[in-house]
Each structure stands twice: as C-alpha cells, then as structure tokens.
Amino acid sequence: MESTLILIQCKDNIGLVTSISHVLSSHNLNIITMREFVDELSSLFFARIECRGFVQDNQLLAIELKNSLPENAIITINPSKKKKIAILVTKEYHCLGDTLMRHSFNTLGGEIQCVIGNHETLRSITERFSLPFHYISHENKDKKAFENELLAILALYKPDYIILAKFMRILSPNFISNYAGKIINIHHSFLPAFVGANPYQQAFNRGVKIIGATAHFVTSDLDEGPIITQQITHVNHNFNASQMRIAGREVEKAVLSKAIALVLEDRVFITGNKTIVFE
C-alpha cells in the first residue's frame, strides 16, 4: 500500500498534534509512526509522520496543514527519495570508498552526482564506479578563487547535499552560506576535541583510551555545527599515533555512513546549533 512521509517544523502551540492529525484523517491518511519533539529553548515543534495512504493533491494537503498550523510552518510532503549528492575529497579513500560502494549497490539512499577533489588521488577509484571526478586544485590561488571554482562546478549539479568525505580544506562562511544546512562533515574526534592539527597525535600524546569521530553539519563556525551522530572505539597503550589514525578511520567511515543514511531518510532536523534525530 502507498505510504506518505510528512515533515513539519513550526512554532510550538497547544493542539498541534490534534490539528495535524485532523487534517491527515480528512485526507484518509492513517498515521503509522509519528515522531515529534518540542525544543523548549526555541519553542519550536518538529514532527516526522509516516502515514499509510495516498495523497491525491499534495498542494491542497500542504495548504490545509499550513492553515491549521502557526505562521511560517515549514511543511514537506514526500521529500525526494533520491537526493542528489556531491562529494568533496582530498586524499584519504576510506569515507569515499564506502560511500561509492553503497551507491553502486543502491543502498546509499541517494544519487552521487560527482566527486570533487583538491588532489587527483581519488580520481581512479571514482572513475572505477563510472562517476565524474573533478580536480580543482587549491594551489596557486587564494581561497576565494578556489571556492569560486568549487561553486561553479557545484552549480552545474545543484546537489541537495554536499558530503565532505575527509576534505581537508576549511571552507569560508561565504561558501557555506550557499549551502546552509546542506553540508555534512566528518570530524576526526569527539567534540569537544583536540583543537588544531593532527588530532590523533594529540590523542596519543594525551594517552586517551577512547577515540571517536563526529558527523556534523557545517556552519561558519568551524567544527562547531550541529552534531548528527558520534561513535567511538577503544584504544590502549599499544597504539602509536599512526595506529590510532588507522583505528580512527574505521570510526570515521562508520559514522559518516550512518549520518548520510539518517539525513537521506529525512530523520534529521536542525534546531539552533543542535540536531533532532528521529532514529
């Protein structure tokens, strides 16, 4: 039987669930799973509703929901199941490789349009999967020029999401503002984290017994965007910095793949500098 997914984000108010479910009933939509959350700090209401039933007239349903909800409600009915993705990389293969493999077997839940690298290293693996690879060097140009080249390529594809799969350049607030809430990064650490270069060396120096990785949306505040998901792995005194890096890669790969799945299944909402994840 047909199913319908509805996403709602609006100011909190008394009777929201009643209002929403009333409209859905009148369209013969039966709620199977309703996940909702009120962020008390921002007084915002978020809902992800799976219904059984077929929507005859999306626009009419959207208008009726809008009329029954507080002003400026954001309503999405049946978001695309094939979101378009651009991947930015540098040299490390593990996150890209895993994403390409899932894509190749139709288990990624999205459509990779292209891979863009600031090095040529990962052209070969990308092309093995018959996907376009664009090489845009950051060398011999200022950041603005580099980012303009990136933006020009991205403009050709109009991706829904940009995945930074170990892309080792810091993007400017200006770049990010073009894809606000649409850029997903994998950070090689917990947050809070060792600040600055070579976190695995720092983790080694500190003698930690756990290392982790964090997938987050990118905001203008470097590594400070809303966290989507985090994972960890245990290490011990036998690990040198390089072995911590190897162990860390497994976590990075797993956590990015989990974050991509959550986002592409429309399970993640952004509220302020946090996420709501209806897992």
Of 158, 167, 243, the residue nearest 200 (C-alpha): 243
Sheet hosting strand 210-217, strand order edge to edge: 133-135, 110-117, 83-89, 161-164, 183-187, 210-217, 227-234
193 binds a copy of itself (CB under 8 A): yes
196 binds a copy of itself (CB under 8 A): no
Min separation Cβ 36 and a copy of itself, Å? 6
**Given candidates 6, 8, 10, 24, which one binds a copy of itself under the rule CB under 8 A?**
24
Residues in region 100-129 near a copy of itself by CB under 8 A: 101, 104-105, 107, 125, 128-129
Give the integer Cα–Cα distance in Å for 201 and 219.
26
222 binds a copy of itself (CB under 8 A): no
**Residue 12 annotated to the active site:** no
Backbone angles phi, psi at 121, to 5 degrees: -50, -40
**Given candidates 11, 27, 30, 241, which one binds a copy of itself under the rule CB under 8 A?**
30
Residue 223, amino acid: D
CB distance 161 to 204 below 8 Å: no
Of 138, 173, 125, the residue nearest 112 (C-alpha): 125
172 binds a copy of itself (CB under 8 A): no
Residue 102, amino acid: R
Count the neighbouring beta carbons within 10 Å of the beta carbon of residue 60: 11
141 binds a copy of itself (CB under 8 A): no
Residues in region 3-22 near a copy of itself by CB under 8 A: 14-18, 21-22
Of 84, 22, 77, the residue nearest 54 (C-alpha): 77
- Which CB sits closer to a copy of itself, 174 or 205? 205
- Which CB sits closer to a copy of itself, 36 or 149? 36
Q: At what angle do helices 16-26 and 58-68 cross, to 10 degrees?
A: 150
- Which CB sits closer to a copy of itself, 85 or 259? 259
221 binds a copy of itself (CB under 8 A): no
Of all residues in the chain, what percent are helix, strand and coil, respectively (each to 5)? 35, 30, 40
- Which CB sits closer to a copy of itself, 83 or 253? 253
Residues in the site for a copy of itself, rule: CB under 8 A? 14-18, 21-22, 24-25, 28, 30-40, 93-94, 97-98, 101, 104-105, 107, 125, 128-129, 190-194, 206-210, 212, 226-232, 236-238, 240, 246, 250, 254, 257, 273-277, 279
Catalytic residues: 223
